[in-house]
């Protein structure tokens, strides 16, 4: 049976949480492999809504193993708070059901403070980070000074690393005129949280190897999306990690051969949170309609999302970079009732036509979308679970998207409810 990687192929918020939760009924193990608690996945099961940031979406299903991989940066206080929140809703989380990679990097309060100080200093040039310390934690990881989960079990290493981190970050905070951190207070708070975090620590790569050998199905869950990738996204308006499918291997400790099928998630329209280029953005009644009907507010920050038409050129680019095999199209029901729908099929730039989003900042800001117009539909698609329940014009829209992005739509989501999904082919059965 195939192991499946799920990645977003727009700017995030595509509905990955629901799709991963839906797929997890077929999986034995669900793995988060990058990002931090800047991710926001909302699951709706019956009349209960779960908002997850660090925990893999499979955690709400009994009998599934959840793994937070080494590619994730983990705020231990945020993780414990999230565990407590879903326990209050009846979900059981124990060290037997959740494994935290011992070599995952930790986020400390000083990281968040630096993140926010930088954004404030940028003024109008803000990147639009969540201010939760994700970027500074990844910086420490690359600079080889990061505190890792395994360090919590070694008091002398822990004390030495905190000395280095406080020295480094206080110098930066001082430069921004921001409050500095007391070394002893940082050490005390980290030592206290270690007692609750260490029971979840484990050798994630070895556990995944054992699960593979046992024939278990593994689902790798990405956060953010391909166009927020630090290498391939709309730089510098990106996240601080690699979000494309190949990161599933590096960020969890498995070989590339373990990644059998890549499922890309995309909305039937486009949204973006924060600053950065957005060629198909609609600063109009259409954008307002999509935002209100789609309930487009960030799970983590509550920020209103920018909304616009589907960008087939950008999605096609993201699919190729991630090696996507099939696509899950979400929120088709949000388009219900629109008399006319547009899709971007390419861009105009400097008098010519291009079929990709360029890398340069000025070029990205200058591209003009080329649209293809579709007839809308008045019938409701919400809750549809088969092609037969969809209006003919909605089916035509989906089929044209398949042609434009050069990949098949294998899953179609028609509401936040877990079972309101049209399945064309099961990714776990792929060969």
Q: CA-to-CA distance for 156 and 140, rounded, in angstroms?
A: 19
Q: Which of 21, 28, 37, 41 is catalytic?
A: 41
CA dihedral of residues 219, 56, 33, 359 (deg, nearest 10): 100
CB contact at 8 A, 58 and 33: no
> Is the pLDDT at 421 greater than 90, yes or no?
no
Six token digits for residue 25: 């009924």
**SS3 annotation, the chain:** CCCEEEEECCCCCCCHHHHHHHHHCCCCEEEECCECCCCCEEEEECCEEEEECCCCHHHHCCCCEEEECCCEEECHHHHHHHHHHHHCCCCCCCCCCEEEECCCEECCHHHHHHHHHHHHHHHHHCCCCCCCCHHHHHHHHHCCCCCEHHHHHCHHHHHHHHHHHHHHHHHHHHHCCCCCCCHHHHHHHHHHHHHHHHHHEECHHHHHHHHHHCCCCEEEECCCCHHHCCCCCCCCCCCCCCCCCCHHHHCCCCCHHHCCEEEEEEECCEEECCCCCCCCECCCHHHHHHHHHCCCECCCCCCECEEECEEHHHHHHHHHHHCCCEEEEECHHHHCCCCEEEEEEEEEECCEEECCCCCCHHHHHHCEEEEEEEECCCCCCCCCCCHHHCCHHHHHHHHHHHHHHCCCEEEEECCCECCCEEECCCHHHCC
Catalytic site residue 325? no
Contact 264, 324 (CB under 8 A): yes
As a whole number, the mean pLDDT across the chain is: 93
Sign for the CA dihedral angle at 54, 56, 61, 64 comes to negative
Interacting residues of 288 by C-beta distance below 8 A, sequence separation 6+: 307
Q: What is the pLDDT of residues 148-170, one digit of tens each?
A: 999 999 999 999 999 999 999 99
- % of the chain at pLDDT higher than 90: 80
Give dist(CA 35, CA 32) in Å, integer.
8
What confidence score (pLDDT) does residue 286 get?
94
Q: Is the pLDDT of residue 431 over 70?
A: no
Name the active-site residue from 13, 75, 229, 325.
13
Residue whose C-alpha is closest to residue 74's, from 106, 43, 98: 106
pLDDT in tens, 15-59: 887 888 788 888 999 999 999 998 777 777 777 888 888 999 888
| Tens-place pLDDT, residues 193-248 | 999 999 999 999 999 999 999 999 999 999 899 999 999 999 999 999 999 999 99
Q: Give me the phi and psi of 159, to 5 degrees please.
A: -65, -40
pLDDT tens digit string along 298-347? 656 667 899 999 999 999 999 999 999 999 999 999 999 999 999 999 99
Burial 125-148 (b: 16+ CB within 10 A, else e): eebbbbbbbbbbbbebbeeeebbb
What is the sign, positive or negative, of the torsion defined by CA atoms of 169, 79, 50, 423?
positive
Per-residue model confidence as pLDDT tens digits over 59-75: 888 899 999 999 999 99
Q: Are strands 352-354 and 326-330 parallel, antiparallel or unpaired?
A: unpaired
- Is 231 annotated as catalytic? no
| Residue 298, pLDDT score | 65
> Residues with Cβ < 8 Å from 195, sequence gap 6 or more?
none
* 121-136 pLDDT, tens digit each: 988 778 778 889 999 9
What tokens appear for 147 in the block? 């505190």
Q: How many CB atoms lie within 10 A of CB 335?
A: 23
- pLDDT value at residue 1: 64
Contact in structure between 418 and 409 (CB atoms under 8 Å)? no
Look-up: residue for tokens 């990058």?
34
The residues with which 348 forms a beta bridge, in sequence order, are: 353, 368
- Distance of CA 61 to CAs 28, 268, 422, Å? 10, 27, 21
Contact between residue 119 and residue 129 where contact means Cβ atoms under 8 Å apart: yes
What's the rounded Cα separation, in Å, for the pair 245 and 4?
A: 10
Confidence at residue 300, expressed as pLDDT on a 0 to 100 scale: 60
CA 148 to chain centre: 22
Query: Does a cis peptide bond (omega within 30 degrees of 0) precede residue 236?
Result: yes
């Amino acid at each position: 049976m195939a192991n499946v990687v799920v990645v977003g192929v727009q700017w995030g918020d595509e509905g990955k949480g629901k799709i991963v939760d839906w797929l997890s009924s077929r999986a034995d193990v669900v793995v988060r492999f990058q990002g931090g608690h800047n991710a926001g996945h909302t699951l709706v099961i019956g009349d209960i809504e779960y908002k997850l940031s660090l925990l893999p979406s499979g955690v709400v299903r009994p009998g599934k193993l959840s793994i937070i991989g080494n590619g994730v940066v983990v705020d231990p206080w945020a993780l414990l708070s999230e565990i407590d929140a879903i326990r209050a809703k009846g979900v059981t989380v124990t060290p037997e059901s959740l494994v935290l990679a011992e070599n995952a990097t930790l986020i400390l309060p000083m990281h968040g403070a630096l993140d926010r100080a930088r954004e404030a200093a940028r003024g109008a040039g803000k990147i639009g980070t969540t201010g939760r310390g994700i970027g500074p934690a990844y910086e420490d990881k690359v600079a080889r000074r990061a505190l890792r989960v395994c360090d919590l079990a070694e008091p002398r290493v822990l004390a030495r690393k905190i000395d280095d981190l406080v020295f480094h970050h206080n110098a930066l905070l001082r430069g921004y005129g921001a409050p500095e951190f007391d070394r002893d207070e940082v050490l005390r708070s980290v030592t206290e949280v270690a007692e609750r975090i260490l029971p979840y620590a484990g050798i994630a790569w070895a556990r995944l190897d054992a699960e593979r050998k046992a024939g278990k199905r593994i689902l790798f869950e990405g956060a953010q999306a391909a166009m927020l990738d630090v290498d391939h996204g709309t730089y510098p308006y990106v996240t601080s990690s690699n979000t494309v499918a190949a990161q599933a291997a590096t960020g969890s400790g498995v070989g590339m051969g373990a990644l059998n099928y890549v499922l890309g998630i995309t909305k039937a329209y486009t949204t973006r949170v924060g600053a950065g280029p957005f060629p198909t953005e609609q600063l109009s009644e259409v954008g307002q309609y999509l935002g209100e009907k789609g309930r487009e507010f960030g799970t983590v920050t509550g920020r209103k999302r920018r909304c616009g038409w589907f960008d087939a050129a950008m999605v096609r680019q993201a699919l190729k970079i991630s090696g996507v095999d099939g696509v899950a199209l979400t929120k088709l029901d949000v388009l219900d009732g629109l008399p006319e729908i547009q899709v971007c099929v390419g861009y105009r730039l400097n008098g010519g036509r291009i079929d990709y989003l360029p890398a340069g900042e000025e070029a990205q800001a200058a591209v003009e979308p080329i649209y293809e117009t579709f007839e809308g539909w008045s019938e409701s698609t919400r809750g549809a679970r088969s092609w037969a329940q969809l209006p003919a014009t909605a089916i035509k829209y989906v089929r044209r998207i398949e042609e434009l992005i050069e990949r098949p739509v294998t899953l179609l989501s028609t509401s936040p409810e877990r079972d309101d999904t049209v399945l064309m082919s099961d990714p776990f059965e792929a060969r």
